[in-house]
Amino acid sequence: MNVHRAVIEAKEEYSGVTLHYVNNKYDEGNIIKQTKVKVEEQDTAETLSAKVQKAEKIQLIEVLQEFANKKK
């Protein structure tokens, strides 16, 4: 929740989801896909978290489908 709270407190327009390859450094692997999530004025950390989690699920399915299609 700290990240979502910080995004709201900073009055960011967007938050988002980044899926990346894992390497030896935290959050520094090459990016596979990013998805923006609009931060609305009425969002709380909880509502923003729910929106981000929904985007994560959609993004993961899309990326898995893309990987599967490349193997065909």
Question: What is the number of domains present in the chain?
Answer: 1
Residue 72 has pLDDT above 70, yes or no: no
In this predicted model, what pLDDT tens digit does every residue of 21-48 receive, in sequence order?
999 988 889 999 999 999 999 999 999 9
Lookup: tokens for 20: 């990346």
| pTM as predicted | 0.86
Residue 9 has pLDDT above 90, yes or no: yes
Number of Cβ within a 10 Å radius of residue 18: 13
- DSSP H helical ranges for 1-72: 2-9, 45-70
**Domain encompassing residue 59:** 2-70
